[in-house]
Structure 1
Amino acid sequence: MNRTSSVAMLALLAAVGIGATYLAHQAAAPRIAAEQRLIDSRSLLDLLPPDSYDNQPLEQPLTLDNNLLANSTLLIGYRATKAGQPSVVLLRSQTLGYAGSIELLIAIDVNGKLLGVKTLKQAETPGLGARIADWPNSWLQAFSGKSRTEIADSGWALKKDQGQFDQIAGATITSRAVINAVHDALRYFDEHRQSLVEGSPHE
């Protein structure tokens, strides 16, 4: 076999190898994407009681109007249902903490009661404000069961600000930011209850 033939054969083998790799990747892509969605789903939906829904909330995002709030921005929403009936609204919120943005997932039942709050992203000071990222999180659990009917708007503040909530030790700014974002989400839910609970998900 001369040099030209050898080069051509190597080029052909390389092309076949690249093609096979591409086809294998294309065939595996849907499975990989499905597995990633499952991981994301578990990370987000572990905020909800397992018996509170039987749909796939993350596959049916809600359209959020007027999402720029007093102290935060709502990024997206989801509706969980049980036996076809709305059960929980999930609101993904972004606010500004001490060192950067904080993203929260806030779960509210159809009666306006908080089921839980989870930190999704944060850049706060390690050992201080960054503790909001711990899961489970005893400080964030203090919001569970609360609502605007139980606590007046003026109560959604730190105790040092005449409110009803303790702060994370050494992290006043972080604590205020989270409390304000949760309060924003509750207000938004109350003002948009019908569309969040009964409206159609974004197609």
Structure 2
Amino acid sequence: MKNLRNLLLLAALGLLGIGTTLWLQHATAPRITTEQRALQARKLLDLLPAGSYDNQPLDQPLLLPNVQLDHSRLLEGYLATRNGQPSALLLRSQVTGYAGPIELLIAIDSQGRLLGSKALKQGETPGLGGRIGEQPSAWLAGFAGKSRNDPGDSAWALKKDQGQFDQIAGATITSRAAISALHDALRYFDEHRESLINGASHE
């Protein structure tokens, strides 16, 4: 009889423990989701200057269904606004590097100037092309302020290819890929500015 009582007590404690765990998971799930979203927002929005937007850009995605450009592919985009007016676009681009796909986040202001860019994913050679993934990347920072026409289209290339830009030391293919993706994004913005800043897409 004593053994039966002990078994029942253990079973009750086990059920209580399971119930408590499930309740805690249910109670904390919204907070975890909120924190994960905030973390993603910080990761994606830190290219935008402080005070340059007052909306929630991640709540205003652009309809970019894998737009294939000359050298890269646009995966998604977001519109940032201030006082109801477009202030910037965030474009997530994918280009083929030396070791595989490189995903870049590219921020462009409403005038078509590059605000900044960073690698979100890459598998380039550590110490060489892998330096594109440094946060921040001094090499990518050198493109800030550039636009499709500054320099002109033909100058969007490495100096060794008769362009204007230096490469990441020892990483010609990675550098070419990133420059091509940045130029593609700026050209796409320039050619579809009106539809993009109105929150629509254009294939």
TM range (shorter): over 0.9
What are the within-5 Å matches in structure 2 for residues 18-167 of structure 1? 18-65=18-65, 67-167=67-167
Aligned AA for 2:61? P
Change in Cα spacing, 1:200 to 1:161, as seen in structure 2 (3 Å) is closer
What fraction of aligned residue pairs are identical, expressed as a percent?
64
Would you say 1:189 and 2:182 are equivalent positions? no
| Deviation of the 1:26 alpha carbon | 1.1
1-structure distance, mates of 2:171, 2:102:
13
Number of positions where the alignment pairs a residue of Structure 1 with one of Structure 2 = 201
1:97–1:106 distance in 2 versus 1, CA, 3 Å? same
Q: Matches of 2:48 and 2:29 in 1, distance apart?
A: 29
Distance 1:11 1:157 in 2: 70
String of CA shifts for 1:146-177, please: whole Å, max 9, x gaps.
Answer: 11122222111111011111100000000001
**TM-score of the pair, normalised by structure 1:** 0.93
After TM superposition, the structure 1 stretch with the greater mean CA deviation from structure 2, 145-154 or 111-120, is: 145-154
Aligned Cα RMSD in Å?
A: 1.6
Q: Distance in 2 between matches of 1:195 and 1:168?
A: 34
**SS, match of residue 181 in structure 2:** helix
Deviation at 1:200, TM superposition (A): 5.3
TM-score calculated relative to the size of structure 2? 0.93
Counterpart Cα distance in 2 of 1:18 and 1:52: 48
Matches of 1:142 and 1:178 in 2, distance apart? Answer: 12
- Structure 2, unaligned runs of 5 or more: none
Asked whether the equivalents of residues 132 and 139 of structure 2 are also in contact (C-alpha less than 8 Å), the reply is: yes
Cα 1:66–1:5 change in 2 (3 A) is closer
Helix, strand or coil: the match of 1:19?
helix
One-letter identity of the residue aligned with 1:85: Q
User: 1:1-12 maps to which residues of 2 (within 5 A)?
Assistant: 1-12=1-12
Instruction: Verify the 8 A CA contact 2:158 2:165 in the aligned structure 1.
Output: yes
Return closer, same or farther for 1:65/1:151 CA change in 2, 3 Å cut-off.
farther
Q: How far apart, CA to CA, are the structure 1 residues paired with 2:157 and 2:117?
A: 16
Equivalent AA in structure 1 for residue 151 of structure 2: I
Q: 1:173: which partner in 2?
A: 173
Structure 1 residues without counterparts, runs of 5 or longer:
none
